[in-house]
Structure 1
């Protein structure tokens, strides 16, 4: 039986904003990072006779949810990031990019077109992504 091991410390990432610069993180102060796709990639239509038409649906949008400690450097950077983008011209609203990589497996997520969406839970930042490309090794 094969055994696999996961460690949150294997997650590294970078967030880039033209307005506030880069934040490089290695899991410090972060409780969890979740990448979710928002578009259902397949849809089924059932005809009266029971035949099924399957549709392949395009769309790479989704979200990255980052749960952090309220006192962490990443939380303070994200607060500054949000405030800078909120105060800036609208053309800057969705210009942030992210790279998340698992150094153990080599898998990664590249996210672009990232604005903020409030979730109102603990100190959770949900970052909407216009495009997420997944690379498996």
Structure 2
């Protein structure tokens, strides 16, 4: 019987921008990380006679959603980065890179050409909440470490 292991505490995300520096997220204040590929890599065209033409599409763009506690250092750093980029020259907007590592699963994901989709929604209520930052990546390279 095979035994496998998953541990979110082993997951780390390094978010970098040449003008602002980097933040290493290792779980403190971090609720979850989700990576979604955006472009369908294959499409099928069906002819009137039922023959299928398959198209291979080379897009590797996607999104990463970082959910963090609204009082966390990660949330504060992302807000600082967003505010800097909002006023910076346009060429800096896609200067973010993110490297995600999950050693227990042998995952290593590198995202480049990353930009903010928008400011996250801001919850205010009796109990503290998670804030979800969605960033778009021009290239998501998923490989096994």
The TM-score range, normalised by the shorter chain, is over 0.9
Name the TM-score, length of structure 2 as normaliser: 0.89
Cα RMSD over matched residues? 1.3
Query: Please, which runs of 5 or more residues in structure 1 have no aligned partner?
Result: none
Kindly report which structure 2 residues correspond to 1:66-85, keeping only aligned pairs within 5 A, or say none: 66-85=66-85
**TM-score with structure 1 setting the length:** 0.94
For structure 2, the 5+ residue unaligned runs are: 123-129
Cα shift at 1:120: 3.3
| Correspondences of 1:105-120 after superposition (within 5 Å) | 105-118=105-118, 120=121
Map Cα deviations across residues 79-99 of structure 1 (whole Å, 9 max, x no partner): 000000111011100011010
Q: Which residue of 1 aligns with 2:90?
A: 90
The Cα of 1:19 is off from its aligned counterpart by 2.0
1:98-127, Cα deviation, whole Å (9 max, x unpaired) = 100002122111000111012537511011
Deviating runs (4+, > 4 A) in structure 1? none
Offset of 1:3 from its aligned partner? 3.0
C-alpha distance in 2 between matches for 1:97 and 1:105: 21
